[in-house]
Amino acid sequence: MKIVSIITARGGSKEIPMKNLSYVGGKPLISYSINASLDSNLIRETWVSTDDEMIAETAVRYGARVLWRPNEISQDDSSSELSLLHFAENVDFDILVFIQPTSPMINADYINNGIAMMSKYDSVFTAVEKHWIPSFDENVNPIGWNIDNRPMRQDMPKTYEDAGMFYITSKKSLLKTKLRYSGKIGMVKIPLKDSFQIDSKEDLDLVNKLL
């Protein structure tokens, strides 16, 4: 059973230019994902899929292999699945750990827990428990609750939010469904403190203060 990881990191980023190379805690953001993958005793190969020379150089410096991503699947509207399928066409593996480079709190234990769950599931992803809070649409209409009978938080069912840290699936499932998760899906539950993703300048400032 060959397990490999892919970290998708294109050069284009609108809100934070070269976001994947932004310094977080004194290191490039992408280095956290690479190090977590390399620290896993279950992942045989760590790959970075990119279209950018600086990202490729950084990836190699931190110990990853590089797969050059074609320009046509490196656009703002290109889905991650396109990169995963491109990877599957060019690299041999049985199980794929798709890591997004925007979660600096990632660690090998979370990855290994997810891989272990693949004996029971077809796909696995990270999730964080969310406490219920009253939500409204843009017209200030309550979503899923009645303003005349506001429920107590502890009476509402638990919900979980996709943390976006990583996704694990088999090559067979990926090629069949063209999705990052499918079939019987399991969750690696992570604490809120480790669930932060860097998608904006505010996120970057916050995480730098936390680390």
Residue ranges of the domains in the chain?
Answer: 3-127+161-210
Task: Report the distance separating Cα 56 and Cα 53, nearest Å.
Answer: 5
- Tell whether the model's pLDDT for residue 76 goes beyond 80: no
Task: For residues 97 and 169, give the distance between their C-alpha atoms in angstroms, rounded to a whole number.
Answer: 7
Range in 71-75, 88-92, 98-102, 132-136 the model is least confident about: 71-75
Q: What is the mean pLDDT of residues 126-154?
A: 93
CATH number, span 3-127+161-210: 3.90.550.10
Query: Annotated catalytic, 61?
Result: no
Residue 41: predicted pLDDT: 94
| Residues near 93 by beta carbon (within 8 Å), at least 6 away in sequence | 2, 3, 4, 45, 171
pLDDT score recorded for residue 188: 98
- 18-43 pLDDT, tens digit per residue, is 889 999 999 999 999 999 999 999 99
Q: What are phi and psi of 50, to 5 degrees?
A: -150, 165
Q: What letter would DSSP give residue 151? A: P
Active-site position among 44, 61, 150, 180 = 150
* Residue 14 confidence (pLDDT) above 80: no
User: What is the Cα–Cα distance from 101 to 28, expressed in whole angstroms?
Assistant: 10
